[in-house]
Amino acid sequence: MHLSYFHTSEAVPPVRPVAEGGPDAAVVIDVLRATTTIAWALENGAEAIQAFADLEALETAAGSWPPERRLRAGERGGQRVEGYDLGNSPLAVTPELVGGKRIFMSTTNGTRSLAAVRQVPLLFTACLPNRTAVASRLVDLDCERVWIVGSGWEGAYSLEDSLAAGAVASAATELAVAPHRGVTFANDEMLAALALWSQWHREPETCLRAASHGQRLMGLGNHDADFACCSAVDCLNIVPQQREPGVLRAS
């Protein structure tokens, strides 16, 4: 397995077909907080998450769905979009609220990364809570070329997404032993993310709080519970997978 890491959607190269050297799998990460929220929403019984890069497209799609079976989740600048059912907190997607419903989601950064790799044959989302579950799926499927894509902040590098990219790579390395072919790192960004995880793996919440986006969230109010949830390593076995363009379901 050859792992590459791209720290934002803007850094992702054009997706080529697998036969032409393109990736056969991609993993999108937005630790604070989209992919953590996606994982918990599916764990708690949401029918699916449908992701949108912009709110206008979200509104159009949600408008065709039965009101009693939908929720709109919108976040901009770390805060819930006015009038929406949900923002971007994994604590809000409780079983009582999301069970059996489709969540139409648009966030500042994470849903743009999903759009950038939508055409990759296998597309998963990862966070610290499900990093080993995702790595295990990649190994079990014998994926050859995997792109891990962070979300960053409005085109800029983010520490927490790189931490989680390193966490997924570390887990894959531990799991991809014989009879698998092992793991290699295809770019320096992937090696740097792995080094970051090695430095912070015992204190992931400290890293999240030190990151610029962590500082931004703390400036918006008390997000202690979100930080604890987003930094809880390996507490979920759920693997969100794109089943049709833009639609993620539990797998």
Superfamily of chain region 2-250: ComB-like (3.90.1560.10)
Write out pLDDT tens, residues 71-81. Answer: 999 999 889 99
Low-confidence ranges of the chain (pLDDT < 50): none
What is the reported pLDDT for 181? 72
What is the reported pLDDT for 109? 86
Q: Which two tokens stand for residue 145?
A: 């070329």
What is the reported pLDDT for 103? 98
**DSSP letter for each residue of 99-112:** TT-EEEEE-SSHHH
CA distances from 170 to 48, 182, 208, 238 (A): 28, 12, 18, 18
What is the reported pLDDT for 42? 98
What is the reported pLDDT for 179? 59
Half-sphere exposure of 160 (CA within 13 A, CB side): 34
Partners of 249 in the beta sheet?
241
Between CA 163 and CA 159 the distance in angstroms is 6
Q: Which two tokens stand for residue 111?
A: 């849903």
Q: 152 CB contacts (<8 Å, ≥6 apart)?
A: 7, 8, 9, 10, 109, 158, 161
pTM over 0.75: yes
Q: Tell me whether the omega of the peptide bond preceding residue 179 falls within 30 degrees of 0, making it cis.
A: yes
Cβ atoms of 106 and 247 within 8 Å: the answer is no
What is the reported pLDDT for 180? 58
Between CA 220 and CA 53 the distance in angstroms is 23
What is the reported pLDDT for 165? 98
